[in-house]
Structure 1
């Protein structure tokens, strides 16, 4: 008697008679119903905005191009970030001022609101806290909407440009990214560490995913001098902003970005009297 095992039948996808699998079609299902805390009263936040803007301007700072800066806010303060000289995008981090372990959670913000934030959407903190940190209340670029390629502004898709990924793409070492700028700012100005820097809110940035390959894409920012966004603090905040060294993001990561493509961003903080 032979001890040899019988030949195994080839896997069905290896043979010549393979038939393409037919998948059932289903309509998309919104995974996360909006909780009550994610839906704000527009009248309430319009009033918060009015009270702050008619109060006192308590701080003004300019974030130099290719650099980052930090500032603090009290609950109810309003922050305006303005495209100060020319088209420019920015990367924003948020922390609870009294507990920096509570920080912005871009992924959950994306699930509760969308890949790109619109006015009256909120910015949420990480687990186990999961509560609103700030509410987006005004945008001079709100009319851009979603373009023909699926591009939109102010994404929370997640990351910031960094020197580690730059080296993966180019094979070259570099220090000059939103990540390194944010690290420098929080270390020098607030005594934090690189590990405190986290995924960001990409303001003024036009992004999406290609229809064919679902790859992340950028377009040159439509923001021009004078455009601005505003948000109201829902807790006492530490905020950091990088004026991205990619400028208006018209040049892909890995390619040289001319200095004239980069511009500063202006920050103003208003407080109710």
Structure 2
């Protein structure tokens, strides 16, 4: 059995993932959104990012707003980086919403010192010696529930449908760095206003 690695509540972590490996992201308490980023590295400098996981390219490639089991997720060169292998969480994730950042919490009244996913991405990458991107990519927001309403124009931020211990497994198609943020959002309902730890395991 693969050992589990902690994604601490409100913080970020990153890890290397080899082609052919699968990473299982576990919603340990059932209510935590995990912002997920993936990058390929420069072949001539393994501290520098070459490409990044791209939600806009993924949506266009799939003609879907939520990848499902068997679907790939793609980078900004339209190359498949990961494939969804298994999903026990109810299959509701988000590809539309930007990572929360300092300005988002100022907008919501949470103050400029509130922890955020944009800074958590930097935290995770720097810890393993990777130079962060100049701009924060839009993440694959695992377990995040952002329904599109019947008017086809409005959305809302809702609690996850995932349950305790549910998970999604992603297989690396190429060598990658994957970064996670256990989203610190405690103002809107997306984490049931109570950010918690999550975990991952690699096999």
TM superposition score category, shorter chain reference: 0.7 to 0.9
The two structures have a TM-score, normalised by structure 1, of 0.65
Partner of 1:242: 181
Partner of 1:125: 75
Partner of 2:9: 65
Partner of 1:214: 153
Partner of 1:109: 58
Q: CA deviation at 1:248?
A: 10
Partner of 1:90: 34
Q: CA deviation at 1:196?
A: 5.5
Q: CA deviation at 1:141?
A: 2.6
Q: CA deviation at 1:194?
A: 5.1
Please tell me whether the aligned partners of residues 106 and 158 of structure 1 are also in contact (alpha carbons under 8 angstroms). Answer: no
Higher relative contact order (CA 8 A, sep 6+): 2
Structure 2 Cα separation of the partners of residues 237 and 179 of structure 1: 19
Q: CA deviation at 1:197?
A: 3.4
Partner of 2:168: 229
SS of the residue corresponding to residue 116 of structure 1 reads coil
Please tell me whether the aligned partners of residues 14 and 177 of structure 2 are also in contact (alpha carbons under 8 angstroms). Answer: yes
Q: Deviations over 1:39-61 (max 9, x none)?
A: xxxxxxxxxxxxxxxxx73x631
Q: CA deviation at 1:251?
A: 5.8
Question: How many equivalent pairs are there?
Answer: 197
What RMSD in Å do the two structures reach over aligned CA positions? 2.5
SS of the residue corresponding to residue 153 of structure 2 reads coil
Structure 1: unaligned runs, 5 residues or longer: 1-55, 145-152
Q: 1:60/1:161 Cα in 2 relative to 1: closer, same or farther (>3 Å)?
A: same
Q: Deviations over 1:52-73 (max 9, x none)?
A: xxxx73x631111001100111
Q: 1:208/1:86 Cα in 2 relative to 1: closer, same or farther (>3 Å)?
A: closer
Please tell me whether the aligned partners of residues 72 and 97 of structure 1 are also in contact (alpha carbons under 8 angstroms). Answer: no
SS of the residue corresponding to residue 205 of structure 1 reads coil
1:188 aligns with 2:127: yes
Q: CA deviation at 1:138?
A: 0.4
Bigger helix fraction: 1
Q: 1:237/1:121 Cα in 2 relative to 1: closer, same or farther (>3 Å)?
A: same
Q: Deviations over 1:59-94 (max 9, x none)?
A: 631111001100111110011011123421110000
Partner of 1:174: 113
Structure (1 or 2) with the larger CA radius of gyration: 1
Please tell me whether the aligned partners of residues 89 and 249 of structure 1 are also in contact (alpha carbons under 8 angstroms). Answer: no
Please tell me whether the aligned partners of residues 144 and 190 of structure 2 are also in contact (alpha carbons under 8 angstroms). Answer: no
SS of the residue corresponding to residue 216 of structure 1 reads coil
Structure 1 Cα separation of the partners of residues 67 and 187 of structure 2: 18
Q: 1:246/1:158 Cα in 2 relative to 1: closer, same or farther (>3 Å)?
A: closer
Structure 2 Cα separation of the partners of residues 131 and 125 of structure 1: 5
Structure 2 Cα separation of the partners of residues 189 and 214 of structure 1: 40
Q: 1:87/1:232 Cα in 2 relative to 1: closer, same or farther (>3 Å)?
A: same
Q: Which of residues 185, 189, 198 is equivalent to 2:137?
A: 198
